[in-house]
Amino acid sequence: MRLREAGNGPRVTTDEPAHPDAEDLACTEEVEVMTDYLEGDLPAAEARRLERHLETCPGCTEYLDQMRTIAGSLGGLSEESLPAEMRDGLIAAFRDFRRSEN
């Protein structure tokens, strides 16, 4: 697993699954489900699979820890606390990002 800079920020990439076990997800797939995991929205079977992966993958564990830190730092922000121009820019960026994924 390695981080690379991309147009939309850092991306975790790998060419191989983290484990030879077919049930385990590749690191790139793990990163894609971490937000749902942190928010408690990941189905139980997928959460267990992610947790098994994290037990043996220091890169993904570090990534998850970073996400927790960022979420904790930003948790006190409210929409009203952002200047309107910044809020509108963030919303536009998220919409553009979602469109580029589809």
Contact by Cβ (8 Å): 92, 62: no
Q: What is the pLDDT of residues 58-74, one digit of tens each?
A: 999 999 999 999 888 87
Alpha carbon separation from 68 to 19, 63, 83, 91 (Å, rounded) = 24, 9, 25, 22
The confidence band for 25, taking pLDDT boundaries of 50, 70 and 90, is low
Domain membership flag for residue 33? yes
Domain containing 40 equals 2-77
pTM over 0.75: no
Per the structure, the count of domains in the chain is 1
Residue 36 lies in a domain: yes
pLDDT digits (tens, 9 = 90+) for 39-59: 899 999 999 999 999 999 999
**23 falls within a domain:** yes
